[in-house]
Amino acid sequence: SQSTLYFLFSCVTDTGLHYDRYLREVIDFLEKDQHFREKLHNTDMEDIKQGKLAKELDFVSHHVRTKLDELKRQEVNRLRTLIKAKQDLEGGNDIAVDHQALLKQFEYLNHMNPHTFEVDDLDRLIRSATKDLENYDKERHDEFKRYEMMKEHDRREHLKTLDDDDRKKEEEHYEEMRKKHADHPKVNHPGSQNQLKEVWEEADGLDPEDFDPKTFFNLHDTNGDGFFDEQELEALFTKELEKIYDPTNEEDDMVEMEEERLRMREHVMNEVDSNKDRLVSLDEFLVATKKKEFLEPDSWETLEQNQAYTDEEMREFEEHLAQQEQDLNLKAVDLQKQRDELERQQEQLNAQKIELQQAVEHMERLKSQKVEPPPEVHVDGNDIPEIHDNQLQFEPEAQAQEHQPAQHIPQDTPQGHHEQQNQVLDQHGLPQAHQDLPPGHHEAAQGEHNMP
């Protein structure tokens, strides 16, 4: 029987896996090796589970192995970049990253050996892709269910914002659209004789009386590999889907159309794919055309006849949304408090900045107003400050008493005046005047003091 891996090799469109590009590049280079390609076409699921196909990697050409090594190094670097980007988004720039620990979550390659592509890497890739693709459809269904519940939740919330009259009109319009969507031609059971004959007639332009299953299979095996893959099967349902969905109609949801296509494909696979390799071989197809389900099928129930969620699931979904909203509100309040505190601190910093600036300006004014020291004169090499007339004036009585000796000499006597003058000269480091100089010597002494 054909292997699941061959399904991976034969897929034309994106598998939806986050490592889809790496998977396809590995497959592309392995198919270039004739030995491996032959083994691929003759390997069944049991051999895959036992890792027999992966062991064939040891026999591929050196050129292919070298290219696979390069692909693996590129993929490891891509994962490391993704890990770093996620860390940056979460604000952990200062935290050391343990790449080895984080790479463990990517099971489709051996992260302990980031340099070479080995048998273990191919085995991991096959097993991971097989398991992930089996879960992929379930994840798509779950995503669609969330989509439908959110759409209903938004509708209910919108109704709460309306008054009674508008709410009634909105409810009537909603029911009208539902009835209009359900009013469509009968949908054939997917994979049944009637459904395939309709494709034979309308898409292929052939007489339905000449319908031949083998010819039909060959016409729609678009890549000529002898199998219907999932994309080729889904293409067969386009005519049926066009009966239900029109992108120009308000009542038709194209997201629901893709979910309907997925349901149809899964149904056919479950009925026809006997070895569960996600492919339909010609033999499997011919066997299915002889069954009663093919010739006399049950009616097909479309999505509007099968609600995607239960009332209980809707209740839990809305409770979850309410809890999320409450958590977000609490975070918003906390963030607002933090913002207010930051603004308060900023105001304090601004006030301190203004005070500091004012202090600096005040110091600058004081500095500019400071009196310059008196110029100096030079006498015989000794620096003697110049005495101005106003500096020789008598000081106030209180200041004079502070510098006078204990014995007081009256100022109104010649001796008192002479002593006071000597005190002033002494304060400035000048020779004292002598009262007992002969006439004319006072002028000579004064001239010496005024020498340049």
The β-bridge partners of 419 are: none
Taking alpha carbons only, the member of 389, 429, 396, 392 closest to residue 411 is 396
Q: How crowded is residue 218: how many other Cβ atoms within 10 Å of its Cβ? A: 12
The β-bridge partners of 383 are: 378
Cβ–Cβ < 8 Å for 385, 376: yes
Residues 222, 227, 232, 238, Cα dihedral to 10°: 100
Domains of the chain with bracketed CATH:
4-128 (no CATH), 162-309 (1.10.238.10)
Q: What are 75's two structure tokens?
A: 């993929």
Taking alpha carbons only, the member of 47, 22, 27, 28 closest to residue 108 is 22
The pLDDT of residue 166 is: 96
The pLDDT of residue 420 is: 56
CA distances, 321 to each of 146, 155, 167, 325, 330 (Å): 11, 14, 23, 6, 14
The pLDDT of residue 275 is: 82
pLDDT in tens, the chain (452 residues): 344 455 555 544 556 778 888 988 998 888 888 888 888 777 766 666 667 778 888 888 999 999 999 999 999 888 888 877 777 776 555 555 565 666 667 888 888 888 999 999 988 888 888 778 778 788 889 999 999 999 999 999 999 999 999 999 999 999 999 999 999 999 999 999 999 999 999 999 999 999 999 999 999 999 888 899 888 999 999 999 999 999 999 999 999 999 999 999 999 999 999 887 788 999 999 999 999 989 988 889 999 898 899 999 999 999 999 999 999 999 999 999 999 999 999 999 999 999 999 999 999 998 888 755 556 555 555 544 554 544 444 444 444 444 444 444 444 455 555 555 556 545 555 555 444 445 544 444 444 444 44
Q: Distance between CA 450 and CA 452 in Å, rounded?
A: 6
